[in-house]
């Protein structure tokens, strides 16, 4: 291959531009996968570039996001929460998308791309089940086969989503290796892909994995930030002071950050205390990427532990590591107890039951609101809480807080 | 300069023989005796697995052995420190995953291997494009980095991988992870033949070569064969003596 004339970089003028030719954001990212998968990653990179520069693909993607996923999602001003906290809160309502979370943006993009590349089957990993449900949905819509890997622990705590996936025609396999949560589901999905790479696309659910995934998944999710910026300007006449989102792998946060990274807004990604890769991790290599990673003194990957299956991940997407390393975004963490309080608060004060994942962002806002009096905050409400109500019923009953 | 592992494998080839390289999970109960038994029964070199928490290239047998080893407190250092006490003459090769090297530091990890008497290293999640920081350190310390080639590689890629291979070239037998299969995939001999046509480096086939018969079939084309899951399963089910018996059986098959 001769590449004398490189194509112009996407978003060259933005802090969140395209990664370099090795798939790096600064010193993070890359493509650390078994040799078997290298040609597939290269093919995907070329396929995505080709699609993303093709106006007909972009138009079809925009149409499907509008007519099937229900975009644009609303930006709701939360007056009572704002009054309670002493600031102005605007919630980006990704919970109102079809399938109940932001995950649908990425899977529709990847499923369209998989079809365009002649693949007939999707494999996906899932933690809370939102990405699995979204993948199964996109596969059903586009007539693709779908297999979802889910840690056995998560299969138990997210039984409803398992049923949804099966109803949608996907095969769900409970992963019994390792910690039996999200990281092991990723391992198993990669093992499947190594064996089936000819007809199968790995529909990775976050801004992680080998290049081009972190970049590609960000591009599919940047609609969140692009919409929110315009909506915020229309509503307030200005950009917000703060943009906050929860971070496991970090796809919803990357999506909303991409719309504000070049404004003056402070960017905050909230991790669970039990899975705080940026705060407690050091650079490491797993799942195809170099990024902050929670590991022991020898480099064995540690298990994440949080109330939210969707954030139970010991690593983080490489672009988050980069944004942290250059000081453009900050990554605090919150405890399970703070999350439970936030989950209850938003339900009672706004009539919105959030998923446990974005409840992390709300928990941070509640804790830090006193430092931001009078400011405007855009919070990405990445998913709805229906999937979590039975788990929370048990938690609150055990605490004696539920009649 | 040709390293000890590669020189040994080239000698075997020159003598008209085929190389047999069993894999043993370091730290699994009985692993040291299993290595001694393999060496005593005709192994030409041995791969020692240093267990990692997230072994994406391994199927259930090696995954479970790795996890058991980790749960009993195995660390990279505990495996390497036990290597001199094995007292075997044949070259030893470490197989592990890149994060353990990355975390320790490239030079330091390479140096630890040298001190332990290790000749080569295989890192299945470190492809050619990402390998430079490691190979620089490994070359400097005299550790031979075995490169993997997979059936999915286009023709133009294979010579570049072969050019970077030291010790031997690991020809991945099929699309998939380690583990035993009922029959040998056609890709096993096909890729070995493609590699033999473009390189002088010894070509050994591993992943999905599951028994003596399959090892024989592969060795008609390749310079040798790696036996992983089939060896580890015998260690797990029956202990080190069964590993010795099995290595002897495969030895007879590929020498026939």
- Print burial letters for B6-32: b (CB count within 10 Å at least 16), e (below 16): bebbbebbeeeebbbbbbbbbbbbbbb
Contact A39 B154 (CB under 8 A): yes
Structural domain boundaries of chain A? Answer: 24-65+103-213, 72-101+222-398
Q: Which residues of B touch A195 (CB under 8 A)?
A: 174-177
Task: Assess whether the region A24-65+103-213 and the region A72-101+222-398 belong to the same CATH fold.
Answer: yes
What distance in Å separates residue B29's CA from the closest CA in chain A? Answer: 19
Does the structure show a pLDDT above 60 at A3? no
- Print burial letters for B165-190: b (CB count within 10 Å at least 16), e (below 16): bbbbbbbbbbbbbbbbbeebbebbbe
Q: Which residues of A touch B148 (CB under 8 A)?
A: 34-35
Nearest CA in chain B to A30: B130
Contact B177 A286 (CB under 8 A): no
What distance in Å separates residue B256's CA from the closest CA in chain A? Answer: 32
Q: Does the structural domain A72-101+222-398 have CATH classification 3.40.50.1100?
A: yes
Mean pLDDT value across chain B: 97
Identify the band that residue A1 occupies on the pLDDT scale cut at 50, 70 and 90.
Answer: very low
Q: What is the mean pLDDT of residues A373-388?
A: 96
pLDDT of residue A403: 54
> How many CB pairs lie under 8 A apart between chains A and B?
120
Look up the pTM and report it.
0.96
Q: Does the structural domain A24-65+103-213 have CATH classification 1.10.540.10?
A: no
pLDDT of residue A158: 84
Contact B127 A195 (CB under 8 A): no
pLDDT of residue A4: 59
Does the structure show a pLDDT above 50 at B198? yes
Does the structure show a pLDDT above 60 at A2? no
Annotated active-site residue A102? The verdict is yes
For the segment B201-216, what is each residue's pLDDT rounded down to a tens digit? 999 999 999 999 999 9
Nearest CA in chain B to A29: B130
Contact A285 B124 (CB under 8 A): no
Nearest CA in chain B to A22: B129
For the segment A321-374, what is each residue's pLDDT rounded down to a tens digit? 999 999 999 999 999 999 999 999 999 999 999 999 999 999 999 999 999 999
Contact B54 A187 (CB under 8 A): yes
* ipTM, 2 dp: 0.96
Identify the band that residue A181 occupies on the pLDDT scale cut at 50, 70 and 90.
Answer: confident
Does the structure show a pLDDT above 90 at A128? no
Rounding to the nearest 10 degrees, give the CA dihedral for residues A210, A130, A88, A330.
-30
> What is the C-alpha separation between A360 and A349, in angstroms, rounded?
17
Q: Annotated catalytic residue: which of A41, A84, A98, A102?
A: A102
Q: Which residues of A touch B149 (CB under 8 A)?
A: 35
Q: Which residues of A touch B102 (CB under 8 A)?
A: 283-285, 290, 299
**B225–A contact, CB cutoff 8 A:** no
A213-236 and A318-325 helices, crossing angle to 10°: 60
For the segment B126-169, what is each residue's pLDDT rounded down to a tens digit? 999 999 999 999 999 999 999 999 999 999 999 999 999 999 99
Comparing C-alpha atoms, which of A274, A300, A276 is closest to residue A286?
A300
Q: Which of B64, B103, B175 sits opposite A197 (nearest CB)?
A: B175
Q: Which residues of B touch A34 (CB under 8 A)?
A: 56-57, 124-125, 127, 148, 150
Identify the band that residue A94 occupies on the pLDDT scale cut at 50, 70 and 90.
Answer: very high
Q: Does the structural domain B4-251 have CATH classification 3.20.20.70?
A: yes
Q: Which residues of A touch B151 (CB under 8 A)?
A: 36
pLDDT of residue A343: 98
Annotated active-site residue B58? The verdict is yes
């Amino acid at each position: 291959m001769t590449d004398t004339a490189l194509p112009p970089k996407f978003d060259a003028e933005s802090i969140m531009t395209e990664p370099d030719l090795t798939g790096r954001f600064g010193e993070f990212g890359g493509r650390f996968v078994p040799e078997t998968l290298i040609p597939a990653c290269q093919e995907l990179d070329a396929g995505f570039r080709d699609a993303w520069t093709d106006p007909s693909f972009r138009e079809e993607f925009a149409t499907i996001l509008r007519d099937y996923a229900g975009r644009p999602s609303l930006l709701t001003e939360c007056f009572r929460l704002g009054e309670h906290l002493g600031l102005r809160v605007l919630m980006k309502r990704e919970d109102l998308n079809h399938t109940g979370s932001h995950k649908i943006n990425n899977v529709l993009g990847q499923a369209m791309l998989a079809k365009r590349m002649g693949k007939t089957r999707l494999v996906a990993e899932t933690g809370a089940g939102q990405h699995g449900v979204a993948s199964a949905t996109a596969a059903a819509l586009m007539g693709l086969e779908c297999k979802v890997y889910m840690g056995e622990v998560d299969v138990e705590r997210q039984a409803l989503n398992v049923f949804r996936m099966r109803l949608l025609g996907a095969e769900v396999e409970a992963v019994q290796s390792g910690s039996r949560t999200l990281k092991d589901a990723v391992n198993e999905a990669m093992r499947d892909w190594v064996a089936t790479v000819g007809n199968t696309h790995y529909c990775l659910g976050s801004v992680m994995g080998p290049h081009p995934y972190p970049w590609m998944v960000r591009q599919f999710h940047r609609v969140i930030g692009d919409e929110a910026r315009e909506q915020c300007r229309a509503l307030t006449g200005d950009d917000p002071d703060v943009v906050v989102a929860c971070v496991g792998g970090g796809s919803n946060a990357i999506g909303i950050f991409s719309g504000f990274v070049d404004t003056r807004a402070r960017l905050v990604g909230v991790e669970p205390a039990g899975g705080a890769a940026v705060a407690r991790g050091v650079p490491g290599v797993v799942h195809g990427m170099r990024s902050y990673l929670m590991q022991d003194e020898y480099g064995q990957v540690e298990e994440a532990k949080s109330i939210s299956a969707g954030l139970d991940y010991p690593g983080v997407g490489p672009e988050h590591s980069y944004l942290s390393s250059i000081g453009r975004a900050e990554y605090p963490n919150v405890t399970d107890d703070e999350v439970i309080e936030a989950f209850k608060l938003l339900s009672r004060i706004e009539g919105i039951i959030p998923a446990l994942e974005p409840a992390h962002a709300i928990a941070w806002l509640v804790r830090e609101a006193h430092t931001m009096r009078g400011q405007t905050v855009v919070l990405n409400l990445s998913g709805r809480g229906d999937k979590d109500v039975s788990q929370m019923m048990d938690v609150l009953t055990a605490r004696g807080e539920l009649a | 300069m040709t390293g000890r592992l590669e020189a040994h494998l080239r000698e075997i080839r020159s003598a008209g023989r085929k190389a047999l390289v069993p894999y043993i999970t370091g730290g699994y109960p009985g692993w040291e005796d299993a290595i001694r038994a393999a060496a005593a029964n005709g192994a030409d070199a041995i791969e020692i697995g240093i267990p990692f928490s997230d072994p994406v290239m391994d199927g259930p047998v090696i995954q479970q052995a790795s996890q058991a080893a980790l749960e009993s407190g195995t660390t990279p250092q505990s495996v390497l420190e036990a290597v001199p006490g094995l007292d075997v003459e044949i070259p030893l090769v470490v197989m592990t995953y890149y994060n353990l090297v990355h975390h320790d530091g490239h030079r330091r990890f390479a140096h630890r291997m040298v001190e332990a008497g290790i000749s080569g290293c295989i890192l299945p999640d470190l492809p050619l494009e990402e390998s430079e920081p490691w190979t620089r350190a490994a070359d400097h310390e005299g550790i031979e980095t075995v490169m993997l080639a997979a059936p999915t590689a286009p023709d133009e890629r294979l010579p570049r991988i072969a050019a970077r291979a030291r010790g031997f070239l690991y020809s991945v037998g099929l699309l998939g992870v380690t583990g035993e299969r009922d029959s040998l995939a056609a890709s096993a001999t096909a890729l070995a033949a493609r590699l033999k046509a473009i390189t002088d480096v010894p070509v050994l086939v591993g992943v999905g070569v599951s028994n003596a018969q399959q090892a024989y079939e592969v060795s008609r084309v390749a310079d040798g064969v790696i036996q992983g899951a089939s060896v580890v399963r015998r260690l797990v089910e029956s202990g080190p003596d069964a590993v010795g018996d099995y290595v002897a059986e495969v030895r007879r098959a590929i020498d026939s």
